[in-house]
Amino acid sequence: MKNPFHVMIIPTLGCPGRCKYCWSSDETSPRMTLDTIDDIVTWLKPLEDQRVTFTFHGGEPLLAGAEFYRQAFKKITEGLPHLSPEFAIQTNLWLMDDELAEIFAEYQVPIGSSIDGPQELTNYQRGDEYFERCLAGYKIAVDHGLLVRFICTFTNSSVKQKEAIVNFFKEQGWVMKLHPALPSLKGENPNAWTLAPEEYGELLVFLLDEAIEHADDLEIMNINDLCRCVFTRAGSVCTYADCMGTTYAVGPDGEIYPCYRFIGMPEWVMGHVRNAPSIESLMESHAGKRMLAFKEFVDTACKDCAHITYCRGGCPYNAIAPTGGSLEGVDPHCTAYKRIFDEITTRLNEEMNAAPVSRVSRVKRQKKPSVTRLIQKIVEE
C-alpha cells in the first residue's frame, strides 16, 4: 500500500526525449535549486508524524544531476525524520550513470520508467532510439541493485497490438503498469493519441484475463489495484482515491500545484513553498477550491454508482482536460472503470456463490478465468 501523503517534486519540465503523445515537457523550463528543497523541508515540518512519499518527476528529472539528488535526499531525510520520507523517481533513464545509480541505491529509490512494448512500437510512439537509450540506463540501474518498473502507455494506435505488448512484457519478465494516453490542457490537438474509454475498458478486461491466466509469470499492477479496490471497498492509488489535501506537486520554481499534470499552468497554482503555506490555506486557494468542487460533484453525480467508494469519479485532471478546465462531468474514462469494476465484481460474486464442484459441469465452471485466484495471490503478497 502507498503512503497516504504524497509530494511530487518536479526539478524541471525540460526533457531530451520527444515522445509523440507527451504534453508535460517544456524546453524553456527552469531547473529547481537546492534552496527550493530547503523550502520544501520548511513547508512540511509542521505536518504531524506520518509516512510521506516524495516522487521526483518531470519532464526528465535526471537533468537535475547527481549533486542535486545527493543533497536533496540528505536534506529531506535529515530535515523531516518524523515523516519517515521515502523516495521514488519517474525517468526515461537516458541519463542514468554509475554516480546517480549509487546515490539512488543508498536511499533505496525505486525507479519508474516507460517502455510501450517491443522496440519498433516504442520508438514509433516515443521517438528514434528511445528504446535503446532507455534499456542502456536500465542495465546500469539494475547492475546497482535498483528496482525498475515500466509504465506502458496505450494509445489509440498501440491498443491494436495489445497481445504483442503483453507477450513482450511476459518474455522480459517485467512487471507491467499501464496508462491510457490522455488528452492535454496544453496542446492544440489534445486527443491525437488518446485512448477512447470504450477501448480502454475492453483493454482492461483483456488484461484481467491475461493476469489471471499467467498469474505465475506476469504481474499487471493496474489489475492488482483494481481487484484490491473491489475486494477492500476502498481506493488507495492514484485515479481511484480522494487525492485532495494529501497529494501535491512542487514545480521547478517552488510553486505548489494539486498534481504534476498541472505544472506550468498559472491558474492551478495553490501557493509557494517559500511561504510555507498550511494545507488548509492551499485548499482554500482558487485551485484548491476547484479540486474540492470535483469531490463535491462526485458525491452527487456518482451517488447511485456501486463503485463510488473506491472509484471516486476517477481522476480530476481527466475530468477537466476535455473541457479546457471547466468541471462538467467526472473522468471520461468512467465507462472503462465501470466496465472493469463490473467485470471483477460479477466474477467474484459468481465464484463465491458457485455450487459445489461436484454439482456443476466442468464446462460451466471454466467459463471465465477465476478472479478469486488472483485476489488470493494479491492478499498473500
User: Per-residue pLDDT tens for 250-288?
Assistant: 999 999 999 998 998 899 999 999 999 999 999 999 999
Name the percent of the chain in helix, strand, coil, to the closest 5: 50, 10, 40
Is residue 155's pLDDT more than 60? yes
The pTM (predicted TM-score) of the whole model is 0.91
Rg (CA), the chain: 21
Is residue 202's pLDDT more than 90? yes
Calculate the alpha carbon distances from 194 to 175, 200, 254, 299, 321 in Å. 23, 10, 30, 27, 12
Is residue 355's pLDDT more than 60? no
Please, how many CA atoms are within 13 Å of residue 140, restricted to the half-sphere of its CB? Answer: 18
Calculate the alpha carbon distances from 12 to 59, 103, 125, 174 in Å. 6, 19, 22, 28
User: In the chain, what percentage of residues exceed pLDDT 90?
Assistant: 72
- Beta-bridged to residue 256, according to DSSP, are 250, 271
Check residue 273 and report its DSSP letter.
G
Banded pLDDT at 184 (limits 50, 70, 90): low
